[in-house]
Amino acid sequence: MLSEGRRYRIDQLIVALALILLFVTPGLAQPQEPSRTEIAAGGAFRVSFSPDCELNKCSFGTTGWWVSPAYYVADRVAVVGEVAGSYGNVDDLVPAFIPVALDTSVGTHSFGGGIRVTGSRVRRVVPFVQGIVSYDRNNASVSALGLRESMSFSGIGFDASVGVDIGITSRSAVRVVGGYGIGRSEGESTHELGVGAGVVFGLGGRR
């Protein structure tokens, strides 16, 4: 079962994506002009889990944001960067035998870069695959009986994803993406499954 806080964050993400579609849909009739430089931003939902135990016992969901600039060094190959943040609550993983109420939250900020390769355009849809290596800064906080304990630790991660850009105007598109990531920190590995959506804006000259 999802906690109230987690359901609220998912509702926020759905509303934000609906507003994005509402404002960009009127430009559907305009022709596409692929840009050499672009900037994309949006939201994401991820499920993190440990490979050492059952998914339903060691998993938790996070919602967050991402910003990703890209520069195409060739017609179908781009160098990409990404800054992202994700936040969640892991109260569901607290053992039932603990006699006090715990407020346990986690957050991650990542700074990465990598390569994207795009496929052939089909009407207004452009598929792509990309891989990003990142430096991750993780934070965890536990509150109980009026006391709060926080900790921070760093790690590295790799995320492989596939997605599509759906053209909206001559210089904008809606991006839908899904991926699988692996993070390593403090000698422990964490795996992630994620989906995201956002908008892409072309800048500068054409490819």
51-66: pLDDT as tens digits:
666 545 567 788 999 9
| Residue 137: partners with Cβ closer than 8 Å, 6 or more residues away | 108, 109, 110, 152, 154
pTM: 0.74
CA 109 to each of CA 32, 66, 97, 106: distance values in angstroms, whole numbers, following the listed order: 33, 10, 32, 11
Count CA within 13 A, CB hemisphere, residue 67: 4
| pLDDT at residue 20 is higher than 60 | no
Beta carbons of 138 and 155 less than 8 angstroms apart: yes
Can you give the pLDDT at residue 110?
Answer: 95
CA 163 to each of CA 27, 90, 182: distance values in angstroms, whole numbers, following the listed order: 21, 28, 18
150: domain range?
Answer: 4-206
Can you give the pLDDT at residue 41?
Answer: 97
Rounded distance, CA 183 to CA 189, Å?
Answer: 6
Handedness of CA 200, 201, 204, 206 (dihedral sign): positive
Can you give the pLDDT at residue 27?
Answer: 44
Give the pLDDT band of residue 24 (cuts 50, 70, 90). Answer: very low
Can you give the pLDDT at residue 207?
Answer: 63
Count of domains forming the chain: 1
Can you give the pLDDT at residue 1?
Answer: 47
Rounded distance, CA 146 to CA 144, Å?
Answer: 5
Rounded distance, CA 94 to CA 126, Å?
Answer: 43
CATH number for position 14 = 2.40.160.20
Proportion of the chain above pLDDT 90, given as a percent: 46
Mean pLDDT of the region 106-131 = 94
Residues recorded for the chain: 207
Can you give the pLDDT at residue 49?
Answer: 80
Can you give the pLDDT at residue 45?
Answer: 94
Rounded to 5 degrees, φ, ψ at 132 are -130, 130
Can you give the pLDDT at residue 54?
Answer: 55
Beta carbons of 163 and 128 less than 8 angstroms apart: yes
Can you give the pLDDT at residue 204?
Answer: 72
| pLDDT at residue 175 is higher than 50 | yes
Give the pLDDT band of residue 173 (cuts 50, 70, 90). Answer: very high
| pLDDT at residue 180 is higher than 90 | yes
Beta carbons of 113 and 80 less than 8 angstroms apart: yes
| pLDDT at residue 198 is higher than 80 | yes
The token pair that represents 135 in the structure block = 């430096």
